[in-house]
Structure 1
Amino acid sequence: MTVDVAGAAAALQAADDILILTHRRPDGDTTGCAGALCRALRQIGKTAYILENPEITKRYAPLIVPCYPPEGFAPGFVVSTDIAEEKLFPDTAEQYKGRVNLAIDHHRSNPGFGRKNLIRPDAGGCAEVLYDVINALGAQFTADIAECIYIGISTDTGCFKYSNTTAHSHAVAAACLTAGIDGGEINRALFETKTMPRFQMERIVFDTMEFYENGAIAVALLWRADIDRTGADMDDLDSIASLTRQIEGVQIGITLTENKDKTVKVSVRTTKEMDAAAICKKCGGGGHIRAAGASFDCGMEEAKAAILNAAQEQYHAKQ
């Protein structure tokens, strides 16, 4: 069942003992959404918690870890935030597959797995949708909630540089600044400050990047050996997929990351001429038009061949 913002707010107002879910490899948007919603629900008198996510990184931990539930908490209502499909649930959320009461998302590929679904593909970040829901709930837009929302939008829009940035994105950001957050400091911490492992991984990406179709397709391989050697963690690898698209002439940027279990995560970033979601869909993935992803159980070389083939098919179809 599809609902609008008012319908989502009404469902939350009628519920209690609420548990909020975030996705695997949690980023700023899913954690920002969950953190903002949990704090807003508590403000209006609801019992609300965020499910533990075993993959949370130190960058985003402050947004959700303080909201983890006590032992024995039994949810009466389950909400997912920024989760495109159930296979992206973290291991701790397996028991909630098929039990999500309300799914709030902005991914066009979301099949509507919740009993009620608020999905807005027009939003630059899911946090934009959460901002509207929080207002509909009647919660006060305090600085702690605003910080969560701002982190969600800024990370999903690349600090408002990506093509998914909308007028509403800027309007919500302005509301966050009005609420008292330090946007400059947040942006510096998220986008300008690099750890040494991050710097080393970026150097590896630029040194080893491969080009196809006369430079229209760029491929970067992040091997587990390099990740372990540099000491990089998920925070250090955050948004590294955007590096391939920074090269002039690249229309399709592909980044493959080898996981600890030797499976492969693929991130695709495209310019306006290409559709990242369509490329990843051919490999069982999905996402946004300009930013999408897929997962492979095979090794790096086989995964590279499959996603490169999908990218080349679309590139030639657009010529």
Structure 2
Amino acid sequence: MTGTASEAARALLAADNILILTHRRPDGDTTGCAGALCRGLRQLGKTAYILENVELTRRYEGLIAPCYAPADFVPDCVVTTDIADYGLLTDNAEPYRDRLDVVLDHHRSNAMAAPVRVVRETAGACAELIADVLDEMGVTLTADIAECLYIALSTDTGCFRYSNTTPDTLRIAARCLEAGVDGGEINRRLFEVKSWPRFQMERIIFDTMEFLMDGKIALVIIRRADINRTGADMDDLDSIASLTRQIEGVQVGITITENTDGTSKISVRTTKEVDASAICAKCGGGGHLRAGGASLSCGPDAARDQIVDAARQVYAESELA
């Protein structure tokens, strides 16, 4: 069962000493949602903090780092934003695994449990749900809250280009602009400006991209040696999984990133013909219809075999087969 934004708002209004959790490898949606919600709760006089995320990159640092909880903070209410599975909890969030009070998400594969659980699968970004919760609580959309929401919306929809963009996405983005957000500058910073390491990594990706099934599947392995050689960090690799889907004729884009410990992170991006979450589910992951992910304990070459096999199976099961 999934609840409503109104139910989430009532639970948060009745609570205090609130701690908000973000997921591993934090993106613009989880950080933007947490930043907006925390600032909104503080506007209402609540004591609210965000749990520190050690994997936070400089791109999203300003959204949540100023709201980090002190080491001695003891929450009475624990909230998750944009976290689809317990495996995405950061190490320091593990103590709260069995005491979540409010789950706010938009992944249809969500497996989290809480007394109040709101999963809006139709939302292009979790920020759409957060915006509704803030409205239900009577929060005023100030410029700083709007900036958090706008970044969450724009990053999860590829600057409003992806098919997951909804009318609500654009309506809320418009409200953010009306609140004083400089959307043009945010979009330029997030989607146009590239660091030299990012430029080098993109060149490596296009040089090494592999095509399968007559060009319907594009696959790239981002090896740790290349990351180290270029000096790229997680901020440089943000949203890099979208590159595989840019090639004409590609319906399944697969990006495998080798982690520092030799394990593999898999990102899948698809066109409207194929279900990305179904592919990732076969490897223990999940996600959305057009974007999914999974983590495998093996190296990237073994991970390649597993995810390609999963992609072939899902493709065969689709009406395109």
Task: Say yes or no: TM over 0.5.
Answer: yes
2:168 corresponding residue in structure 1? 168
1:41 corresponding residue in structure 2? 41
- The answer on whether the counterparts of 2:86 and 2:111 sit within 8 Å (CA) in structure 1 is no
Which amino acid is the alignment partner of residue 284 of structure 2? G
Quote how far apart the aligned CAs of 1:71 are.
2.5
1:14 corresponding residue in structure 2? 14
Distance 1:112 1:6 in 2: 19
- What does residue range 146-225 of structure 1 map to in structure 2 within 5 Å? 146-225=146-225
Deviant stretches of 4+, over 3 Å: none
Distance 2:131 2:116 in 1: 18
2:95 corresponding residue in structure 1? 95
Aligned-residue sequence identity (percent) comes to: 64
Quote how far apart the aligned CAs of 1:12 are.
0.2
SS of alignment partner, residue 6 of structure 2:
helix
2:288 corresponding residue in structure 1? 288
Distance 2:274 2:71 in 1: 47
> 1:13-68 deviations in whole A, cap 9, x for unaligned?
00000000000000000000000000000000000000000100011011000001
Matched residue count: 319
- What does residue range 56-75 of structure 1 map to in structure 2 within 5 Å? 56-75=56-75
1:301 corresponding residue in structure 2? 301
2:32 corresponding residue in structure 1? 32
2:135 corresponding residue in structure 1? 135
Quote how far apart the aligned CAs of 1:312 are.
1.1
Distance 1:142 1:196 in 2: 35
Which amino acid is the alignment partner of residue 86 of structure 2? E
Distance 1:24 1:69 in 2: 17
Q: Which runs of 5+ in 1 are unaligned?
A: none
Quote how far apart the aligned CAs of 1:81 are.
0.1
Distance 2:313 2:242 in 1: 21
2:256 corresponding residue in structure 1? 256
Q: TM-score scaled by structure 2?
A: 0.98
1:110 corresponding residue in structure 2? 110
Quote how far apart the aligned CAs of 1:70 are.
1.6
Q: Which runs of 5+ in 2 are unaligned?
A: none
Q: TM-score scaled by structure 1?
A: 0.99
Distance 2:199 2:23 in 1: 26
> 1:68-95 deviations in whole A, cap 9, x for unaligned?
1123110000000000011100111010
- The answer on whether the counterparts of 1:85 and 1:113 sit within 8 Å (CA) in structure 2 is no
- The answer on whether the counterparts of 1:86 and 1:113 sit within 8 Å (CA) in structure 2 is no
- What does residue range 232-251 of structure 1 map to in structure 2 within 5 Å? 232-251=232-251
Matching of residue 312 in structure 1 with residue 309 in structure 2: no
Distance 1:18 1:90 in 2: 17
SS of alignment partner, residue 95 of structure 2:
helix
Distance 1:253 1:116 in 2: 35
Which amino acid is the alignment partner of residue 135 of structure 1? D
Distance 1:290 1:270 in 2: 5
Quote how far apart the aligned CAs of 1:317 are.
2.6
Distance 2:37 2:59 in 1: 19
2:55 corresponding residue in structure 1? 55
Quote how far apart the aligned CAs of 1:300 are.
1.1
- The answer on whether the counterparts of 2:86 and 2:112 sit within 8 Å (CA) in structure 1 is no
Which amino acid is the alignment partner of residue 104 of structure 1? L
Which amino acid is the alignment partner of residue 231 of structure 1? G
SS of alignment partner, residue 176 of structure 1:
helix
